[in-house]
Structure 1
């Protein structure tokens, strides 16, 4: 028993490390963007695709990545995803022009889309539902919060010291080592079940549909919502997703079984992840713009400013795990959201052209705690009552909702922020930008309250069992990797 517990402990450490890599990669590129734009001769419009190429592919392939974990093996997909991260990061650092760098970021997005559901489903199948899984998810979530702060800080340090290429090179040893450790620390995958198909038509239609939808949301603010390519993308999205739903309703072994939506916990978890990313998830973007564009913070100073919110979020993830066992899942999520909303409103109140970082801190601390509590609770909800053989696709469903919610929320909030900036410059632009960010942050706080209403859809008795059940037995090993 001690040996088995030690093995699962090391496995959890690796899975948490993978989440740290995902979070690190999400933030580390932002502070290097100005230097990337100058040295690789990006246009003003083209530079956004260093971020958007990752976001579009990541959001579009999550559901496919989740199902692939269920059918092809979670450890295999975990190692493959990290290998893609390592290889694409190396290519990104070596890029000498915009095309190769954007392509490398797209492959990184594919790696993330395979890695996130594989990591989450490995946690959900390695640790028993209840206190044991909740604790594992809290550790995993805390690693993600640490990655966000490290990403901002490390991005500033590396860019200042070694140039923009270093923010890509740093991923190579991290992801490469984690990929190799997967074959040492994670249980081997069993044989693929006979008779289970991959549902290629469903995979193609949903991946294309979600990818086009995220593309339209990301590109719309730049080219205009009535631009032909944006309207065409939205139209194609509607057709492809309608075809996908038709296919799933008739397929013998669907990519995403529609009956999963009858699981109230999973459905509520998806709705909460959607609103979470469109509200809480947008705050780092607006705080970065506020600190750098309104108050002229350097990349390094901005990274240091994000240490406090990241520590608050990490603390919240641990509090959330304990609260679920004591007061139940619904009450925990409701509490996290009802703490996060006024905290976010306090941040908005402090955002002014002549404001200070010290004025932001009370709101940042309160909002961060609420965010951390909600983060742990929403992934517990998304995994509850789901069969082990479908944890991958359930993780993909919840994380797809999260990414689409982030794209929708950011598009709305950026439009609100930029609505009055045309023709302004100097102090007038600075004051108007601060006002726009303040409005967007108030709207985010209102969106968090919407998430609290959604939480009421969870069953009141949904709480972690007091005693831990025995861990789920590993799948029988029938075929060597």
Structure 2
């Protein structure tokens, strides 16, 4: 007996938010296979090409707290609209860039737009879908789009570059952004007054917090290269000092960018810790799998990208079927633990990749497990945080949790790729065997991080009702909402 969860307007709102979510996360990986073409056209070496990628990722992670608080103070629909304008304009600028400096600047601007969009999306979902069944379905679809974005980006980047040239990987965002801007009027209106919100925006906190996250993000990425390790260590120390200063500023501010009281809410602080492990485990897995397929199995970049496409397909199918069902019956914490457990199994499966792989036996099962585990973890880790706070704090709660994943991703990629390199370099076996040994160790470490996340979920995020056996109430209770919401 199927219950009607969404009406036509609900479906349009969900389509608008989740398609933008897909494009934002697709842009984290879509240019990977286009980097050689970009380097040839714009005269960029490896270091410069690294900045084409990192400019987006650093700005994405660094500005997310500011984006989250702006959504709370100015209004999520206004901030979503502004972020969409910035992201779309930056995509057009990147597509028409005729110099390396312009492309890198455009990528950084894209990252700022993405950082503003994600927290406002979560605040809009929370306000738009108030009934539990509708909210579970909406967050399930949203999480699948984010989780699928990286896999889809890897898969479509090659064909776009081969067929239309590297500018197409950016220009494809423009029509999506323009159509989304037309649909913004469907979103619930804001109750916040923008002028008053701007006056309450914590500028000292924004400067210290954003600068700290940018420096820490850059330092984490640069620690993996011997040539930049010394300066990266210094910048890491400076970033941590600024982070400490940020905490002091926030403790004294009458209107803090990141209210420290939120960390006393177990669902917020626990979700942040677990989401850092989600990022540290799954993001390196895509990189490690691409390295194995291309360097050990002689896959082309396009074929390697298509090999992970089942992750995206299973993501979307699971989000429309099994994940909402599990959310209704098990609750967010158990779904999160299950998702991380499936990820651990997938990464453990990849840790046994042989010298000569059979795709259907050695790769596809792990991809299917990952395709179910990723959206389950994304929705399970998001719902507790944004539904345990008042609407006035939903944006910054989303910003905290998603910033934790960005930081965890950077740490995970740096640490696991460095681990693979060290083990490969020290192995006494033939080079091919040594290379797979390094990748195996990195996959096994990723599996351990995912399993640790599952354990912490059951420790930190299970509610009292869940512990007593009421799975339906395992999602956190939602406090009284003060902002305008539309009944789903």
Normalised to the residue count of structure 1, the TM-score between the two structures is: 0.91
2:456 corresponding residue in structure 1: 454
The offset of 1:274, in angstroms, is 0.5
Q: Does 1:408 align with 2:411?
A: yes
Normalised to the residue count of structure 2, the TM-score between the two structures is: 0.89
Aligned length in residues = 470
Output aligned runs, 1:227-376, within 5 Å: 227=230, 229-317=231-319, 318-350=321-353, 352-358=354-360, 359-376=362-379
Question: Structure 1 CA distance, aligned partners of 2:273 and 2:106?
Answer: 31
CA RMSD of aligned residues (A): 2.8
The offset of 1:474, in angstroms, is 6.3
Aligned partner of 2:72 among 47, 70, 83? 70
The offset of 1:173, in angstroms, is 1.3
**Cα distance change, pair 145–243 in 1 and its aligned pair in 2 (3 A):** closer
**Cα distance change, pair 243–366 in 1 and its aligned pair in 2 (3 A):** same
The offset of 1:327, in angstroms, is 2.2
2:102 corresponding residue in structure 1: 100
**Cα distance change, pair 334–437 in 1 and its aligned pair in 2 (3 A):** same
Q: Does 1:212 align with 2:215?
A: yes
Question: Structure 2 CA distance, aligned partners of 1:428 and 1:180?
Answer: 58
Question: Structure 1 CA distance, aligned partners of 2:70 and 2:227?
Answer: 36
The offset of 1:476, in angstroms, is 8.9
**Cα distance change, pair 288–72 in 1 and its aligned pair in 2 (3 A):** same
1:188 corresponding residue in structure 2: 189
The offset of 1:366, in angstroms, is 2.1
Output aligned runs, 1:148-167, within 5 Å: 148-167=150-169
Unaligned runs of 5+ in 1: none
Question: Structure 1 CA distance, aligned partners of 2:316 and 2:33?
Answer: 22
Question: Structure 1 CA distance, aligned partners of 2:263 and 2:355?
Answer: 46
2:225 corresponding residue in structure 1: 222
Q: Does 1:475 align with 2:475?
A: no
Question: Structure 2 CA distance, aligned partners of 1:70 and 1:375?
Answer: 22
Question: Structure 2 CA distance, aligned partners of 1:476 and 1:164?
Answer: 42
Q: Does 1:21 align with 2:23?
A: yes
Does the Cα contact within 8 Å between 2:222 and 2:229 map onto a contact in 1?
no
Unaligned runs of 5+ in 2: none
1:391-449 deviation line (CA, Å, top 9, x unaligned): 0000100010010000011110010122255699xx96544333322211110001111
SS of match in other structure, 2:461: coil
Question: Structure 1 CA distance, aligned partners of 2:256 and 2:485?
Answer: 24
1:41-76 deviation line (CA, Å, top 9, x unaligned): 111222111111111111110000100111112112
Does the Cα contact within 8 Å between 2:340 and 2:454 map onto a contact in 1?
yes
1:18-62 deviation line (CA, Å, top 9, x unaligned): 111112212211111121122221112221111111111111100
Question: Structure 1 CA distance, aligned partners of 2:172 and 2:339?
Answer: 34
2:388 corresponding residue in structure 1: 385
2:93 corresponding residue in structure 1: 91
Question: Structure 2 CA distance, aligned partners of 1:309 and 1:369?
Answer: 8
Question: Structure 2 CA distance, aligned partners of 1:459 and 1:423?
Answer: 43
2:41 corresponding residue in structure 1: 39
Question: Structure 1 CA distance, aligned partners of 2:36 and 2:440?
Answer: 24
Question: Structure 1 CA distance, aligned partners of 2:59 and 2:355?
Answer: 36
Does the Cα contact within 8 Å between 1:340 and 1:371 map onto a contact in 2?
yes
1:84-129 deviation line (CA, Å, top 9, x unaligned): 1221112212222221111111111111101111111111122116
